[in-house]
Amino acid sequence: MNEQPVFETALAAMQWLKKEGYTEDFNLEADCIRAGALRVNPADFTIDHVFRFEGNTDPGDEEVVYGIASEKAQTKGIHFSAYGVYADAMTDEMIRKLR
């Protein structure tokens, strides 16, 4: 993973990633990431940046911002998600990739 700055908010991390060229809005599916019609399997993308944020008053307010790149699909994008109790259901391969 590349050296990265530290941010106070998920919004600040997403804004920085967009400036760095991570322009797609990736949605997480059980076995891939998706941006519109583009589907990228775990073997075909890398996690370049991970920013985790915990809520100040509620431990359930945990979120993570990923900067994701796919050389094969020639794209870079962002995935924003809850983690912990509210994490999405995924295949084992996706779970290993996003850890």
- Considering the domain boundaries, does residue 63 fall inside one? yes
Flag whether 5 is in a domain. no
Reading the block at residue 29, the tokens are: 């599916």
Neighbouring residues of 39: CB distance < 8 A, sequence distance ≥ 6: 29, 32, 33
- In sequence order, the β-bridge partners of residue 7 are none
d(CA 68, CA 70): 7
Q: Is residue 26 part of a domain?
A: yes
- Is 71 contained in some domain? yes
Q: Give me the number of domains the chain comprises.
A: 1
| Domain range for 66 | 10-98
d(CA 60, CA 49): 22
pLDDT digits (tens, 9 = 90+) for 23-47: 999 998 888 899 999 999 999 999 9
Residue in 93, 99, 85 with CA at minimum distance from that of residue 30: 93
**Mean pLDDT, the chain, whole residue set:** 83
51-63 per-position pLDDT tens digit: 988 866 555 567 8
pTM for this predicted structure: 0.81
